[in-house]
Structure 1
Amino acid sequence: MLLVVLMLATGSYVGFRVLTSDQDQQDAAPPAAGSQATPDPAGTGPSPVEPTAAPVESVPQPAVVDTFPLGREPEGVAVSPDNKTVYVADQNSKDVHFVNAATGTASAVRVPNTPRFLAVSQDGGRLYVSLFENDFTGNGLAVIDTASRKLVKTIRTGPRPFEPAVDAAGRIWVPIHNAGRVEIYDPETLTEDGRITVPPNPHWVVFSPDGRTAYTANHESSQISVIGAEDRLVKRNIKVGRSPHALAVTPDGKQLIVTNYDVDTVEIYDTSDMRQLHKIKVGREPQAVMISTDGVHAYVVNEGTDNMSVVDLKDGKVVSTVGVGDSPRVVAISPDGLRLYVSDGRGQSITVLRTSKE
């Protein structure tokens, strides 16, 4: 698998601590020596989230407004609910960066093993970080308090936890790539609350806006699973294009978007009956996808062509292609819908794009 080759190409890691217990707790260590991040003395965690207005109108061609160096190999990206902080997992180190979205200043929280992907709790108080080494040891989920910037706990998980997600009840769902399952963790006790078996091998999990349905992208089986979020039963497994990597659901819950990494396509499905609406050619090796807050456009980062395809979801076609940094991996959108953040893995940078006329 190309993703595995990419990870192995970064070299081996020396001196990592293998997780040994569900109850393993660590305090955050200082930023790594030589880190490119700079202190952010004003950062105190997310502010209360104000009621949102109507979604901003997205434009068919987002504009790059900034690119800044960060870390050694940025991968997972997430944005706080108040839009003020961008979180970045630096997978060629053991740092998770907290970036002030207004100033670009940053600080780093050290985690026990290599951080890969991120999810933020609904209230913004916690950051969940999947961890594993290139030899698939050190598998875990780091829990960080975003206000104190302290590591609360490290939970041991199955092998190769990928992109976590938080459901409507605050539970953390973690796709376990090498075990063909999703593990679910209770947000209060931070212990495992259940497991769901899916086809090999899950990369991504997303939820419908009403919280009733979960979807997983199962890379090696070229399938997506439709799961009842409450009863935790797999309702359907659907064959899609080769190597589905990431998923996104439109704000109205009517469409599901899938990126097919090995065939350079995006597919759009009607969630009412899982009927395919469109298959769209994009750049090479599409990784992550995000939807504009108005539900009009999908933003697809293409690792193999160092760009982002913008897809009109109604017409099912690419309306623009925007260059980003070297080897883009993950894209996140700010909750206010105004900014996109793309991690440029080999470029060791974050590209910031404006998504509206504002």
Structure 2
Amino acid sequence: MKHRLFVATALGAAALTCASIACAGQAPASLASPDIPISHKDRVYAAEQFSNTVSVTDPASNTLLGVIKLGDPAPANFSPLYRGQVLVHGMGFSPDHRTLAVVSIGSNSVTFIDTQTNAAKHTTYVGRSPHEAFYTPDGSEVWVTVRGENYISVLDAKTYAEKTRVTVPAGPGMQIFSPDGKYGYVCSSFNPETVVISTADHKIVGHIKQESPFCPNIAATPDGKQVWFTLKDVGKVQVFHAEPPFSAITSFDTGPITNHVNFAHSAKGTFAYVTIGGTNQVKVFRADNFEQVATIPVGKLPHGLWPSGDGTRIYVGLENDDALAVIDTQTNKVVSTIPIGQAPQALTYVPNAVPEGDGTQNLQPLGVAGQVSHLTLLPAGADKSGALAAPTSVALFDQGLVQVLQASVTGLQPKQPYALALSQHADGSGPLENLANFMTNPAGGAIVNSIGQIRQIVTPANADAGNARRYLVIAPVVSGNLGTAVQVQAR
């Protein structure tokens, strides 16, 4: 009888503690924490790189509530007097679920946002090209990977000021923490090495060899046993033990432009969800035996993803579709697609982010952030009827009179120079006008950007209005000159 009373009291205390900090048994929290059912108090946030916004979605109704505007689109942000944020990209949240930490690569900043009011509380400026930021599980620090340099900027979570730096291999891509808060895991985007840092003293205590130098994303399983990271350039995932000696477990091919990984846990086990940008899919793997159990078509260039507080849904940002895909983890099918801002990158799901009211203060309508045109490129000479899967998707994000072009390129020769160009002819013949040179990664893919009045000349509607029609193509670069087009615009 005493034993039963003790258990009940302990469970009650645990429930009270979890209720006070809104913890959940899904990543990045501990598996021992209770799940939190989806409700209107929860929010899904996405960092949108070209509209410089953070979209705010209610997961209970799968509706966009509005966007938090952190900056202006191009060309307004070219001004030397511009004070907003540029290239809104990374995202983390505090353990009490009351604060977002949003990284803007172009303005070297971390903006702290109140989840109840959607208002910016503070902006901290750090080193060159920060990529991601996340709170330590005890909520005392925010670690920012300064990818353009060689350190983690450790911020005090109360004052938002930098308190120290941790030197790591150049180009740290992202950090995440063990659920118990003992270790921070930091992968690299420039060097083939992941390091493990003790959060107690900020000392490096482990090294893991990456099979390529380009890791954009890393995640720890809620049971604290494994760490998974993605290798975008070679299209792979690696897994290592989360505890000393941090030894390798496995690695396997996933597909071109492998972006992010995250986990959902249910009675069936823990499952890893991996976004494969080059094939417009999310692949699902068991965490116990690494068996692939599902391949889910989601939309163009899936990037960031995060589980709901109960693990019943996975939310996926579609970078070239300006949308949020919602996956039911029981059926592994997309059950909803929600329009959001331009080129979503990192994404987080925050249970109980808005404990009171409707949480729509300081939100703005989507506006120009929802305007985008889509094109596809096919191999030269291929049937353009659409029967053949397009290897390259192109999004033209409206910025007023100009657009930011982003191409998710696949299907080319690896490690070779190419150019995205304009042709006067639909088959890509004749002289070509160069828009952007690029080098393919070891998987034969690349993300290519340009800017200009491109939509006005490459879409049929605008050409019919009297503009000189051009067609997007991809051609190899040979001795500094453009060769024969190998991919051409489908329409």
Deviation at 1:300? 0.6
Identical columns (%): 26
Which residue of structure 2 aligns with residue 355 of structure 1?
329
Rate the CA distance shift 1:323–1:241 in 2: closer, same or farther, 3 A. Answer: same
Which residue of structure 2 aligns with residue 100 of structure 1?
58
Q: Does residue 342 of structure 1 match 2:316?
A: yes
**Contact 1:247–1:259 under 8 Å retained in 2:** yes
Question: 2: CA distance between counterparts of 1:293 and 1:94?
Answer: 32
Which residue of structure 2 aligns with residue 178 of structure 1?
148
Which residue of structure 1 aligns with residue 277 of structure 2?
303
Which residue of structure 2 aligns with residue 122 of structure 1?
95
Which residue of structure 2 aligns with residue 32 of structure 1?
none
Deviation at 1:172? 0.9
Structure 1 unmatched ranges of 5 or more: 1-46, 56-79
AA of the residue aligned to 2:192: S
Q: TM-score, normalised by structure 2?
A: 0.55
Deviation at 1:224? 0.5
Which residue of structure 2 aligns with residue 168 of structure 1?
137
**Contact 2:26–2:265 under 8 Å retained in 1:** no
Question: 1: CA distance between counterparts of 2:270 and 2:26?
Answer: 14
AA of the residue aligned to 1:355: T
Which residue of structure 2 aligns with residue 268 of structure 1?
239
Structure 2 unmatched ranges of 5 or more: 1-18, 28-37, 71-83, 333-491
* Correspondence 1:1-358 to 2 at 5 A: 84-103=42-61, 104-111=63-70, 112-114=84-86, 115-133=88-106, 138-170=107-139, 171-242=141-212, 243-272=214-243, 273-294=245-266, 296-356=270-330
Deviations 1:202-225 (A, max 9, x none): 111011111010001112111111
Q: TM-score, normalised by structure 1?
A: 0.74
**Contact 1:81–1:124 under 8 Å retained in 2:** no
Q: How many residues align?
A: 284
RMSD: 2.3
Q: Which has the higher helix share?
A: 2
**Contact 2:272–2:287 under 8 Å retained in 1:** yes
AA of the residue aligned to 2:252: I
Secondary structure of 1:196's counterpart equals: strand
Deviations 1:100-137 (A, max 9, x none): 1122132111212131111111111111100122xxxx
Deviation at 1:51? 6.9
AA of the residue aligned to 1:313: A
More contact order relative to length (CA 8 Å, sep ≥ 6): 1
**Contact 1:164–1:173 under 8 Å retained in 2:** yes
**Contact 2:255–2:276 under 8 Å retained in 1:** yes
Deviation at 1:280? 1.5
Which residue of structure 2 aligns with residue 37 of structure 1?
none
Rate the CA distance shift 1:228–1:282 in 2: closer, same or farther, 3 A. Answer: same
